[in-house]
Structure formats: structure tokens, C-alpha cells
Amino acid sequence: MQYRSLGGTGIQVSPFALGAMMFGAAGNPDHDDSIRIIHRALDAGINFVDTADMYSHGESEEIVGKALKGRRDDVVLATKARFPVNYDPTGATPFVPNRSGASRSWLIRALDGSLRRLGTDYVDLFQIHQPDPDTDIEETLSALTDLVRAGKVRAIGTSSLPASDIVQSHWVAERRGLTRLRTEQPPYSILNRGIEREVLPVAQQFGMGTLVWSPLAGGLLTGRYRKNHENTTHRSQFGFRHLTDERRLDAVEELITLAEDAKLPLTHLAMAFAIAHPGVTSAIIGPRTMEHLDDLLAGLDVTLTDDVLDRIDEIVPPGTDIGALDMAYQPPAIQRSNLRRRPVSERAAA
């Protein structure tokens, strides 16, 4: 395994990071089997494990904690906070004030809960799971700085932060003498290359490590989703729209042909693409079964030639997104129509 520097932290991490979202009720409810998968990844040389407090309502962190007993010192451990631990995207769980967000109040409580579930007294990387427009960035950075100084956190980062917010956070950190963001975790795959325009260049400019999630495009780049085929996979039961987007499925068909010409499984093509960008530190894999993990590990030594990368560029041009992942962050300016539309009385030019 070749290791890469995590931005300017001095921490060395594997190009593949093990994501733990599928460990627990949301994916693999068998704790012993999930632990075996984690150990298999560690034995293969993966030294970076990424989880979050909301994954299976904290169950993922508990599984990771069990798996790392006796091996904690050799693992770069990352977790995230932002959503309530009992987060339910359907809205069925009642909202409880002050148990989510990026405020000082919640982040301190959330980290203490994560440390307890993980069975450790520190994490190597603590990340804000998604931007929180209701909390001032100085408030968030101040709280994270105190957690670093308390020894509970080694480095701090974000996920899905727009490039402009990354720049603002570094400006605030420098002006106020606060700890700087060291990592960003955006979505990135052959089908979603939008971060190549600004996020990756800005992260590189500020010396940040970039940990990309969903390098298999939410499952589309596994080859198990085909146009005009019925899909009955684990993910399909959740009704994700990105799995049935005709534009994405058309691109997948072209990529399957390209992978066949290159004599590669589609998963290996997708993972090798994600870690080939100089701004990407690690790509997060999220296996649910040992079979999923073994398939990805078999592609660790795959190197894409310039000819193959050029053909990918022809199918999905650099800096381009084909559709969007259902779980991708959308800023308020996109979500809220009143921020995109003037009052009716002010819309005319005359």
C-alpha cells in the first residue's frame, strides 16, 4: 500500500479509506461480520476508517470501536457530527432543538458521544458532516479549536463545503487565530466531477487533504444498474432517484464498454479514476459485505493510462456533473425558492 499525506497534517493515510456507513442497521446488522470486514481492510493495508455519529443511530461507531480494540494506535480514525444521532431523512423522528448543527453546544456533546461509542479518548479527524447555514463559522471553528487543544481531536475538517465557504473559513481562522480546516470530504466520481472546477483547486491551494465519498456514484458504477433492466439491489429499496436517472444510466453504459475495452471491472475503473486526481488524498469505499470489499481490494494496483482517462473525459467532461446524488448537499440558495426569486412586484424590468 502506498500512503499519502493528509494535507499539511503530517498524517499518512491509504488512498482507499474504509467508510463505515454500511455497518449497522442501515446496511449490515451483523456486528461480527462487520468487524471481520474492518479487520480484512486493515490487514490489506487500509489505515483510514471514516464513520459518523448518525450512521445507524450511532451503531456504526459502536461496531468500529469494537473492531479497533487492540489496533487503535495503527488506525487514522475519523468521525463526523452535524445531524441528530437519531437522524431520520423521512422526518418521522421528532425534531429536538439544540441536538444538531455546528454550534459549540452540539459539537462538544456530539463528540463526547462519539468517543464513548468508539471506545477511545480521541479521534484523528473530526468533521462537520454538512454545512450549517444557521451557525456562524467563527462559532464552529472556535469550538473545534478548543476540542483540538483539549486533546480530543487531532485535526478538523468538513464535508460538502462549497469552495467559497472553504475560503471564508480559512480567512476567519487566520484573523481570529483559530485552528484551520485540514480536510474536505466532497462527493466525487466519474459521473460527478463538479468539484474539479473549484473545490479541489481551492483545497489544494490551502493545503487541505480531500477525502472523496461515493466514488462509485451511489452504486451506479458497480455495474449492477443497467438501462432497461430491473434493479433489485440493497440500495434500490430506498428509492434513490440518482439510480434511475436516464442521463446517468446512458453514461454508465458507455463506461461499461470502456471498462471492457480496458479489461477492467467497472468498479476498478471508477476507484482508480477517483484517486488519480492530484487533489484527491483518499477515496472512501463503503462495503456492506466481504464480497464487496474483496472486489475493491482486488483493484488496489490498477493504474489508468492517459488514453483511458481521455476516453473518460469524452464521456463525462472535466468539471461536469451528470445529474446529482440524492444525498448531495444543496445550499439554501438552491433549496429555497424565495432566495432565487424576487417578489412578483419586482420581477419586471419596467
- Torsion angle, CA of 317/321/325/329, rounded to 10 degrees? 140
**Closest among 281, 207, 210 to 9, alpha carbons compared:** 207
Question: How long, in residues, is the chain?
Answer: 350
Residue position matching grid coordinates 424576487: 342
User: 16-19 and 282-285: which strand pairing?
Assistant: parallel
Cα-Cα end-to-end distance for the chain: 65
For residue 28, the 8-state DSSP code is B
Backbone angles phi, psi at 254, to 5 degrees: -65, -40
Q: Which of 232, 234, 243, 161 has the alpha carbon at shortest distance from 202?
A: 161
The H or E element that residue 159 is part of is: strand 153-159
Residue type, 216: L
Cα–Cα distance measured from residue 74 to residue 46, given in angstroms and rounded to the nearest whole number: 10
Active site residue 55: yes
CA 318, CA 313: separation in Å to the nearest integer? Answer: 6
Q: Which of 3, 55, 122, 188 is catalytic?
A: 55
Question: ∠ CA 4-319-326 to the nearest 5 degrees?
Answer: 90
Q: Which residues contact 348 (CB under 8 A, 6 or more apart)?
A: none
- Do 123 and 115 meet the contact criterion of CB atoms below 8 Å apart? yes
Residue 222, CA distances (Å) to 86, 88, 113, 298, 312 in order: 29, 26, 34, 14, 16
CB 246 within 8 A of CB 228: no
Q: Which residue has the cell 466481504?
A: 290
Catalytic residue numbers read 55
